Amino acid sequence: MTRILLALVLLLSAACAHAAVRIKDIADIKGLRENQIVGYGLVIGLNGTGDTLRNAPFTEQSLQSMLENMGINVRNETTSTNNPPRPTTLRTRNVAAVMVTADLTPSIGPGERMDVTVSSLGDATSLLGGTLVMTSLRAADGAVYAVAQGAITVAGYSVGGQAQNVSQGTPTAGRIPNGALVEREVQGSLHEMEFLVLQLKNPDFVTATRILDAINRFAGGRYRAQIAFERDYRTIVLSKPRHIGPVRFLAEIGELTVEPDTPARVVINERTGTVVIGRDVRISTVAVTHGNLSVRVTEMPVVSQPAPFSRGQTVVVPQTVVEANEAGSQVAILSGVDLQRLVRGLNQIGLKPSGIIAILQAIKTAGALQADVIVQ
C-alpha cells in the first residue's frame, strides 16, 4: 500500500505568531450571496461522440421539439385518417443532452456575461468541439435569469480503439467562458437593507467578539458612535451612519483586521496518511513509545524428483520461512505547550504516518490530547 508523506499543516510555524486577517475574508454580508441557476439544453456539432438516441430517448425528444419549434417537420405524415403520424427515427450521433449550471453573483446585472458549466446527461463520450444551443437558466423560483449559448471548452479527452483506451480528465463536461447573458437581476440590494448583518464563515464566540470590538473601536474614531451589536456567535448587526454610502461603509469595515480564533482540532485521514494538527492543540505530558513489528513470510517450494526407473512421481513439497522482527524504539516524552514542541516530540520518535495516527488516537483515548479528533 502506497503511503504519502506525513503532511503537517503548521499555521504560522515560523514564528508561532498569530496573524490578523481582514473581516471581509472571514465574514459575509447577509442577503448578498450567490444564487444557483440551472437549465437543460442540447449540444450540437459533435464528431460522432454524442448520445445514442436509442439509449437516450430524452435527447431524441428534445431534438424533435427543437426542430419542430423552428418549423421543421420531423414526423411522417400519412394520408390515412385512421393512422396517426409517426415520428421519424433519427440516427444522428452529433447531438448530446446536457445540464447547464452557473452561479449568479449578487452584483451582476442584466446585460452582463458569466461563465457556465456544461455536463452530459446521456451516453455521449465527449463534448469536444460541441456548441451549446440557446438554453434558459432558471433559479429555484422558476424564473429565467440568464440565457446560455456558445462553444464548449473541454479540458479532458478520450481516445481509444478496440484493445486500449487512453483518457485524461473528463471529456463529458466543459465550460463556456462568458457563455451566459444575464437577463434578470436578483432582487435585493444594499440600499434596501435597513441593517447590515455580518455572518461569520466559521462561527465562534471569540471571533465574533473580536470583530465586534474592532468595528466599534474603528467607528468610535471615524464616526464617533458605536455601530456594531452582536446578535449571536454567528451574526453581527451593523448600523450604517447616514452620511456614508453602504459600499464605502462596507469597504472600510471589511479592511479591518482581527485575529480569528480556531478550535483545537486534529484531522486524520487514514486512507492517505494525512494528519493536520491545529494551532491550539495541546497534549498533557505523556511518555510514548511505539514499536514496529514486521513479519515476512517467504514461500520456497522444493521439487522432489524420484530416482530413475523407480516408478515414483514428481511432487512439490511446500516450504515456508517466517521471519519476525521488531525494531527497537525509544521512549519519548510529549508535552504540547505549543505546536512546534508537539511536532518536535513526534519527530523525535521517528514515526511513519500510520504510527503518528496510532499514537494520536492512543493519546486521545488516554485523555491527554486536549483537542477534537476527526477521522475522515
- Residue 228 and residue 127 share a domain: no
Taking the CA of residue 368 as centre, how many other CA atoms within 13 Å lie in the half-sphere pointing to its CB? 18
Residue 316: per-residue pLDDT: 79
Distance CA 252, CA 372 (A): 36
Distances (CA, A) of 80 to 72, 77, 84, 88, 234: 22, 9, 8, 17, 71
Sign of CA dihedral 302, 308, 312, 313: positive
279 lies in the same domain as 358: yes
**29 belongs to a structural domain:** no
Q: What is the DSSP letter of 310?
A: S
**What DSSP designation does 224 have?**
S
CA torsion angle for 78, 83, 85, 88 (degrees, to 10)?
A: -80
At 324 the pLDDT is 56
Residue 28 lies in a domain: no
Q: Are residues 137 and 249 in the same domain?
A: no
Distance in angstroms between the alpha carbons of the first and the last residue of the chain: 18
> What are the phi and psi torsion angles at 67 (to 5°)?
-65, -40
Statement to judge: residues 288 and 337 lie in one domain: yes
- Residues 246 and 290 both lie in one domain: no
Asked whether residue 160 is assigned to any structural domain, the reply reads no
In a domain, 81, yes or no: no
The reported pLDDT for the residue numbered 177 is 94
Q: Are residues 44 and 146 in the same domain?
A: yes
- Which tens digits make up the pLDDT trace of 64-76? 888 888 888 876 6
- Residue 45 CA to residue 64 CA, distance in Å, equals 16
Q: What domain range is 117 assigned to?
A: 35-74+90-154+168-182
If asked whether residues 178 and 61 sit together in one domain, one would say yes
* Same domain for 305 and 216: no
In tens digits, what is the pLDDT along the chain, a chain of 376 residues? 333 333 333 333 333 345 789 999 999 888 788 889 999 999 999 988 889 888 888 888 888 888 888 888 876 655 455 666 555 567 788 999 999 999 988 878 889 999 999 999 988 888 988 999 999 999 988 999 999 999 999 887 667 666 677 777 788 999 999 999 999 887 766 666 778 889 999 888 999 999 999 999 999 888 888 889 888 889 999 988 888 888 888 889 999 999 988 888 888 887 887 888 888 888 777 777 766 655 566 667 787 777 777 777 888 777 766 665 556 555 566 665 566 666 766 676 666 777 778 888 888 888 888 888 888 8
Q: Supply the pLDDT for residue 269.
A: 85
Q: Contact at 8 Å (CB) between 145 and 203?
A: no
- Residue 80 counted as domain residue: no
Residues 66 and 122 in one domain: yes
Q: Which amino acid is at 139?
A: A
Domain endpoint, select from 258, 293, 311: 258
252 and 367 inside one domain: no
The answer to whether position 24 is within a domain reads: no
As a whole number of angstroms, the distance between CA 133 and CA 197 comes to 41
Determine, yes or no, domain membership for 126.
yes
State whether 137 and 44 are in the same domain.
yes
Domain count, the chain: 3
Q: Give the model's pLDDT for residue 6.
A: 38
- The one-letter amino acid code at 125 reads T
The pLDDT assigned to 334 comes to 61
Per the DSSP assignment, residues forming a β-bridge with 151 are: 131
Burial of 238 (0-12, 13-18, 19+ CB in 10 A): buried
Whether residue 233 is found in the same domain as residue 279: no
Q: Is residue 195 part of a domain?
A: yes
